[in-house]
Amino acid sequence: MRIIHHLAIVLLLVSCAPRGHITLFAGAAKTGDIQRIYVGTTREIDGQGFPSGDRSRNLIFGRFDVSVPPDREPGSIEWPTRNNIDPSKHFLLDDFSPITTQNDFSSALRKELRPRRAEERTAIVFVHGFNNNFSEGLYRFAQLSEDLALPFIPVHYSWPSAGHPLGYGYDRDSMLIARDGLEATIRAVSDAGVDEILLVGHSMGALLTMETLRQMAIADGQRALRKIGGVVLISPDIDIDVFRSQADRIGKLPQPFFIFSSTRDIALRLSAGLTGQTARLGNTTDVDKLAELNVTMVDISAFSEGDLGHNTALASASFLRLLNSVPDLGAAYGGDPSNRVGLLPGTVLVVQNATRLIIPNIAQ
């Protein structure tokens, strides 16, 4: 009965929330800040030329210039309606351009790299999660890049989610189909000449990220991961035993390796219940199960607010402000727990190789 109750809550909240759609508004850049997002996707292209929720056997590339409105709360995304389009308030697409081949995609990234300084020659590859249509994943990444002022080249890997709360089975199968596309995208980014790649996977996208790292390691060993300069799993919808087996097969995990979790994540609580478990990787408190792995679990339960607690690390204004206040996030979450003193408030628990960091919301 508890699972049915949670499912009813999920359906009620999702049905009340408006779904995002791409709105092309040439000239939005005159008002908003442009985030240029490079995209690799295995979604089928719809009649308007944008990726849909249908699966494609082809990997398609493109460049999307997203206009982020200037005055808004960090973490927020405001969507336009058919009769109300305002670049000062809404996320809009200013321009986009298809990129024909994987080689052309690498060439476009290579051109983007030329004027960049050494510390900016990193690409961040963001993989969206369950129940995301194309525009929602794209705009969320643009929002995150804007709010954290990320100096990296943003690359979004968009896999064909059904974009429906009851589409879990379709999304899970789509995620499995999308592994080769993510690997090809990572290799295209690497071929462009970036110094390193930061992988960020959210929800079911975290499972896709781990599956792809696993198959790359099987194919080429640690050499395949030489440019992976870090991994961040946000609210990962992964069975803990599956994660351990993935990590074992990958071998030495890329470093740093962060897992952002929340015990208040209702969506993951539901996912766990449907599989007869009490927790998934993204809402567990038991760091002992990961003791032999060199990972850092960052418990941000105190920041969970709305949206089923599943987008906390992406959409919580107070948490994003906290991240922006940290001068060196790598040092804050790095190998030696003593390095964190004075950088982030919280309780640090170290069990063998794994670390758990519990961050309080001091703004409350």
Q: Is residue 364 in some structural domain?
A: no
Residue 16, pLDDT score: 43
Residue 180, pLDDT score: 98
Q: Is residue 312 in some structural domain?
A: yes
Compute CA 129 distance to the chain's CA centroid, rounded to the nearest angstrom: 7
Mean pLDDT of 76-103: 95
Q: Is residue 363 in some structural domain?
A: no
Residue 12, pLDDT score: 39
Q: Which of 201-215, 249-263, 303-317 shows the lowest per-residue confidence on average (mean pLDDT)?
A: 303-317
User: Could you list the residue range(s) of the whole structural domain that residue 96 is in?
Assistant: 2-358
Q: Which of 139-153, 191-205, 273-287 shows the lowest per-residue confidence on average (mean pLDDT)?
A: 273-287
Mean pLDDT of 33-50: 96
pLDDT at 358 over 80: yes
249 φψ region: left (φ > 0), alpha (ψ -120 to 50), beta (else): alpha
| Calpha distance 98→60 (Å, rounded) | 8
DSSP of 170-189, one letter per residue? HHHHHHHHTHHHHHHHHHHH
Which pLDDT band, with edges at 50, 70 and 90, does 112 fall under?
Answer: very high
Mean pLDDT of 97-102: 95
Q: How does the average pLDDT of the chain come out, rounded? A: 88
pLDDT at 17 over 60: no
State how beta strands 228-234 and 92-99 pair. Answer: unpaired
Residue 356, pLDDT score: 87
Q: Exposed, middle or buried, 4 (CB in 10 Å: 0-12/13-18/19+)?
A: exposed
How many angstroms separate the first and last alpha carbons of the chain? 33
Residue 15, pLDDT score: 40
Q: Do you find a cis peptide bond into 256, omega within 30 degrees of 0?
A: yes
Residue 289, pLDDT score: 93
The residue with greater pLDDT, 14 or 60, is: 60
Q: Is residue 278 in some structural domain?
A: yes
CATH code assigned at 60: 3.40.50.1820
Q: How far is CA 261 from CA 144, 233, 257, 287, in A?
A: 17, 9, 13, 11
Residues 213-255 pLDDT 10s: 999 999 999 999 999 999 999 999 999 999 999 999 999 999 9
Rg (CA), the chain: 19
Q: Is residue 307 in some structural domain?
A: yes
Q: Look at the chain and report how many structural domains it folds into.
A: 1
Q: Is residue 200 in some structural domain?
A: yes
| Calpha distance 130→168 (Å, rounded) | 7
Residue 348, pLDDT score: 79
**Alpha helix segments (H runs only) across 148-290:** 168-177, 179-191, 204-220, 240-250, 266-274
Residue 233 burial (CB count, 10 A): 29
Residues 332-355 pLDDT 10s: 444 444 454 345 567 777 888 898
